[in-house]
Amino acid sequence: MDSMKKAVDRYPHSGTGLDSLLDLWKVTPDDDNDMPFVSRALCVTTAGEFHLKTFRGTDITVTLAEGWHPIRVSRVYASGTTGTCIAGD
């Protein structure tokens, strides 16, 4: 049985439009569990490297500057992440 938490997409039938975000939450990087929800954007509060799992399941490490990044992410890994962020959907 898979005991890892999976992110919930609260808008599975919606497009990726330019509507404002409805909610924000603090991101705690975790190597084993997804965030509670799939993000529509990340707000980087401390620039750095981010090891991410995208909505479609791709693992990638990217350098992100401070500010908003419109990216659908289900997980921010602890290993390989040096920056901090909040997420919104």
Averaged in consecutive runs of 10 residues, what is the pLDDT profile of the chain (89 residues)? 69 66 92 94 97 96 97 97 95
CA distance 68 to 81: 17
What's this model's pTM, rounded to 2 decimal places? 0.81
**What does the pLDDT read at residue 8?**
78
Host H or E run for residue 63: strand 59-64
**What does the pLDDT read at residue 14?**
65
**What does the pLDDT read at residue 21?**
84
Would you say 51 and 79 are in contact if contact means Cβ atoms under 8 Å apart?
yes
Would you say 54 and 74 are in contact if contact means Cβ atoms under 8 Å apart?
yes
**What does the pLDDT read at residue 7?**
80
Beta strands 41-46 and 24-26 are unpaired
